[in-house]
């Protein structure tokens, strides 16, 4: 890291801060206008698998998608200046935008799963091709296939964990900011972080709006892109592990359901965060636990790099196992319902 700020770097920092504040305010205002519209057209009604009790509009993620994509478009054509960063970091929201559009249509029309996954594969392929860790050659084909599976898994896992007030938005803010440890984060990404803060004002418990697939898949794609923009595989893995509280919960739940003979594509309430809520924890308490766990890994990345992140991620897995066994409603009990 640089030990001093050049005048240009200081100017960029001030610009990023102003854009952060402007994006937060703009997103808050957008949602203030959008919520009545979405309440009449895209209302999420509680059912047996829901974690909320009141009808709540979803699709609110379209607000931060629009804010970040607009800044990305302006930055890409030079209207908004940016530091010397990789073009992929400037274009990150635009790269994830088609997937967000598919998610928005899915929120309204429940698109076939094959359509959604096809959009994820195309997005994943673009994310991989713009990564400095990947070179296009025949020998890289197995790696490409593996990364497509990994990127689409991240997108889906972030989508799966969008089930409690403020959970995904706050954890993604923390994880995205962590990328600044080894990446010069572009103005569009800082704009996204600011917009997420504006979104959280409405999404924190008790939530006035949910982000829906349009927001969760978009965040998953942007985060996957940031992970693969690292210049070394160790940095990439370290950043990925910062999101372990969300990704680990989703991954372990999928594996657990698979090995107990359940259909992993059916909706359920078997994630640890859901079972903690069913055990009596409030939305805010569960979300705060996951935010704290993500923040601990973020600090570990800053102070000690990959070894610290791995060590603390393993510790958090054991804590999660203890919560699973001693606090949460048992997995087996809910699986039988």
The domains of the chain are located at: 19-45+53-335
DSSP-assigned states of every residue in 143-176: HHHHHHHHHHHHHHHHHHTTTSTTHHHHHHHHHH
Tell me the C-alpha distance between 19 and 13, whole Å. Answer: 10
- pLDDT digit string (tens) for 309-334? 999 999 999 999 999 999 999 998 88
Q: How far is CA 94 from the centre of its chain?
A: 16
Tell me the C-alpha distance between 216 and 199, whole Å. Answer: 13
Tell me the C-alpha distance between 135 and 125, whole Å. Answer: 12
Residue 213, pLDDT score:
95
When computed from its CA atoms, the radius of gyration of the chain, rounded to whole angstroms, is 19
Residue 3, pLDDT score:
46
pTM attached to this predicted model:
0.94
Among positive and negative, which fits the CA dihedral 123, 60, 273, 174? positive
Q: Which residues contact 38 (CB under 8 A, 6 or more apart)?
A: 57, 58, 59, 60, 209
Q: Using DSSP, how many helices (H) and how many strands (E) does the chain show?
A: 13, 2
**Distances from the Cα of 90 to the Cαs of 71, 75, 127, 145, 280, in angstroms?**
9, 7, 13, 25, 43
Helices 87-109, 113-129: inter-axial angle, 10-degree rounding? 180
Tell me the C-alpha distance between 113 and 130, whole Å. Answer: 26
Tell me the C-alpha distance between 289 and 291, whole Å. Answer: 5
Residue 9, pLDDT score:
66
Q: What is the pLDDT along the chain (337 residues), one digit of tens a residue?
A: 444 456 666 777 788 889 999 999 999 999 999 999 999 888 888 776 677 778 899 999 999 999 999 999 999 887 665 556 789 999 999 999 999 999 999 988 889 989 999 999 999 999 999 999 988 766 788 899 999 999 999 999 999 999 999 999 999 999 999 998 888 888 899 999 999 999 999 999 999 999 999 999 999 999 999 999 999 999 999 999 999 999 999 999 999 999 988 888 787 889 999 999 999 999 999 999 999 999 999 999 999 999 999 999 999 999 999 999 999 999 988 887 6
Residue 81, pLDDT score:
59
Residue 82, pLDDT score:
57
Residue 12, pLDDT score:
72
- pLDDT digit string (tens) for 214-257? 999 999 999 999 999 999 999 999 999 999 999 999 999 999 99
């Amino acid at each position: 890291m640089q030990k001093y700020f050049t005048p240009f770097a200081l100017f960029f920092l001030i610009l990023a801060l102003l854009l952060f504040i402007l994006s937060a305010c703009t997103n808050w205002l957008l949602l203030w206008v959008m919520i009545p519209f979405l309440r009449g057209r895209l209302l999420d009604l509680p059912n047996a698998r829901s974690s909320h009790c009141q009808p709540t509009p979803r699709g609110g993620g379209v607000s931060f998608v629009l804010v970040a994509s607009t800044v990305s478009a302006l930055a890409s054509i030079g209207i908004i200046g940016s530091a010397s960063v990789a073009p992929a970091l400037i274009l990150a929201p635009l790269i994830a935008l088609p997937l967000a559009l598919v998610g928005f249509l899915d929120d309204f029309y429940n698109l076939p799963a094959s359509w959604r996954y096809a959009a994820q594969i195309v997005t994943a392929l673009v994310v991989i091709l713009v990564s400095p860790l990947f070179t296009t050659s025949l020998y890289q084909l197995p790696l490409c296939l593996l990364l497509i599976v990994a990127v689409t898994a991240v997108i889906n896992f972030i989508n799966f964990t969008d089930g409690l007030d403020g959970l995904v938005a706050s954890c993604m803010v923390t994880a995205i900011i962590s990328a600044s440890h080894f990446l010069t984060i572009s103005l569009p990404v800082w704009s996204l972080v600011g917009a997420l803060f504006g979104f959280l004002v409405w999404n924190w418990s008790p939530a006035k709006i949910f982000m829906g697939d349009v927001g969760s898949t978009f965040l998953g794609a942007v985060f996957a892109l940031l992970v693969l923009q690292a210049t070394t595989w160790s940095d990439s893995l370290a950043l990925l592990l910062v999101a372990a509280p969300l990704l680990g919960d989703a991954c372990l739940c999928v594996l657990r359901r698979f090995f107990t003979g359940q259909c992993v594509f059916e909706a359920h309430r078997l994630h640890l965060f859901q079972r903690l809520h069913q055990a009596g924890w409030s939305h805010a308490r569960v979300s705060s636990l996951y935010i704290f766990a993500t923040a601990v890994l973020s600090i570990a990345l800053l102070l000690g790099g990959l070894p610290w992140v791995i060590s603390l991620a393993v510790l958090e897995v054991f804590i999660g196992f203890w919560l699973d066994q001693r606090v949460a409603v048992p997995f087996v009990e809910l699986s039988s319902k």
